[in-house]
Amino acid sequence: MVERQTRAHVEARIRAGILEQGTVDLLVEAGVAARMHAEGLPHDGVNLAVDGHLFRVDLRALTGMGVLVYGQTEITRDLIAAAEARGGAPLFEAENVALNGVETDAPFLTFTRNDQPHRVDCGFIAGCDGQHGVSHAAIPEGGRRTFELAYPFGWLGILADCPPCHEEVIYASHARGFALASMRSRSRSRYYIQVPIAERLEDWPDERLWGEIETRLGPDIGHRVSRAPAIEKSIAALRSRVSEPMRHGRLFLAGDAAHIVPPTGAKGLNLAAADARLLAAAIARYYRTGDTAQLDSYSDTALKRIWNAVRFSWWVTKLMHNFPDASPFERRLQRAELDYIRASRAAQMSLAESYVGLPFR
């Protein structure tokens, strides 16, 4: 594993935190679940707030499954520790990474580390280096298609050491914009609010942000928000993006190198885990039997799951956010759909099935 950043940067970066059952199962199979089981927070439901009034979707009753809150930062630490224990520690601070010979049967990586040149000969290369990495760019433009939708707003997030305002995640639709109340532990909270895409972080001191969070969560929950100094604050743009195919010769894309979803549906981390599971099984089968069928079908199989998740994330984003160009008619439709979800078990079932995650195949 070759990584451009330092280990400290990788292990400190704040990322997603809601795990589908399939991701939990995968970490168990990989032997890295001990701390996840000890510290993770099981959630059997998810909550929607509409103009401050809360209703709960019972994931467990509807699907027989829930989700687990355990930060991606913690998963990364667990995986690095496991890799070290088996003698395969990542090579951090690798610079000038280049992919070579991916269209041949003998691809190889070149990079520099501590000012020394390195070469790694490979059977296959898994490109897990995000949308700005060298892997995505290694697929010729004429050999790939990119589908993208940029949303006209971002998420302003705050991480703070204070108890969560609720025992489960809350998605809030409010006249002033979307808000999300989440957590990383019983003593560390994560909140987001929708802001204009051009908003500046320096215009949001902690007190202003806390006040806006309380307002958007509304009377049922806002008064339960505990305030604390920000550990981290950031503004993230929201977009949906999928590149097809996810294979070029001996190069296979996984995770953000192939697809981006808005965080609204909690799918980014889980899609990456599904890609990794599918690709690992295909490579293992090849080395055990010489059969390339799973490698050959990897892209098509992965993309079916990805597009389902892209659809769900897009739908939740459209449902819960205020779009600046939405007409009064469209706003009424949005409210009608939220009312329908509140009243209909069938509508809640549809939401719950996608939220807990499609079965791994």
Tell me, what CATH number does 260's domain have?
A: 3.50.50.60
Instruction: Answer whether residue 132 shows pLDDT above 80.
Output: yes
SS3 17: coil
The burial of 10, by beta-carbon neighbours within 10 Å (0-12 exposed, 13-18 middle, 19 or more buried), is given as: middle
Report the percentage of the chain scoring pLDDT > 70: 99
How high does pLDDT run on average in the chain? 94
Mean pLDDT over 290-312 rounds to 97
Same domain, 115 and 33: yes
Same domain, 30 and 112: yes
Instruction: Answer whether residue 207 shows pLDDT above 80.
Output: yes
Return the pLDDT at 361: 60
Same domain, 142 and 77: yes
Q: Judge whether 338 lies within some domain.
A: no
The pTM of this model reads 0.93
SS3 356: helix
Same domain, 250 and 118: yes
Q: How far is CA 116 from CA 96, 111, 323, 343, in A?
A: 11, 8, 50, 63
Report the percentage of the chain scoring pLDDT > 90: 90
Return the pLDDT at 15: 77
Residues designated as active site? 43, 171, 263, 267, 355
Please work out, in degrees rounded to the nearest 5, the angle formed at the alpha carbon of residue 243 by the alpha carbons of 106 and 270. Answer: 95
Which tokens in the block code for residue 250? 């001996």
208's enclosing H/E stretch is helix 206-217
Same domain, 28 and 82: yes
Same domain, 135 and 40: yes
Domain count for the chain, please give it.
2
* Cα R_g (the chain), whole angstroms: 21
